[in-house]
């Protein structure tokens, strides 16, 4: 049984994610997203899709990138 790194729940169906060589245990995708997904620089939502990245800054959409002044940003489709 693994213990979730976010909420501390011990769960028989926990899973591990290895990111940049670091292994972390989670009990659900919600906790994994909370721990690992970047936040949009404009609206602060968690980015769980492709999003938009410019010079190391992440945005959830081209709309949010445009609000930050990155007019060349386009959503991936």
Question: Does the pLDDT of residue 77 top 70, yes or no?
Answer: no
Return the ∠ at Cα 35 (arms to 38 and 37), rounded to 5°. Answer: 25
Is the same domain home to 74 and 43? yes
Q: Which residue has the higher pLDDT, 76 or 33?
A: 33
The SS3 assignment for 66 reads: helix
Q: Which domain holds residue 75?
A: 38-77
What band does 76 get if pLDDT is binned at 50, 70 and 90? low
Q: What is the pLDDT of residue 2?
A: 95
Whether pTM > 0.85 for this model: the answer is no
What is the rounded CA–CA span in Å between residue 3 and residue 8?
6
Q: How, if at all, do strands 52-54 and 15-19 pair?
A: unpaired
Is the same domain home to 42 and 75? yes
What is the rounded CA–CA span in Å between residue 65 and residue 57?
9
The SS3 assignment for 9 reads: coil
Is the same domain home to 74 and 42? yes
């Amino acid at each position: 049984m693994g213990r979730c790194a976010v909420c501390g729940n011990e769960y028989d169906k926990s899973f591990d994610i290895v990111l940049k060589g670091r292994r972390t245990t989670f009990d659900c995708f919600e906790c994994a997203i909370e721990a690992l997904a970047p936040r949009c620089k404009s609206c602060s939502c968690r980015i769980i899709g492709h999003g938009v990245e410019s010079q190391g800054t992440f945005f959830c959409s081209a709309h949010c990138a445009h609000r930050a002044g990155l007019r060349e940003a386009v959503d991936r489709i």
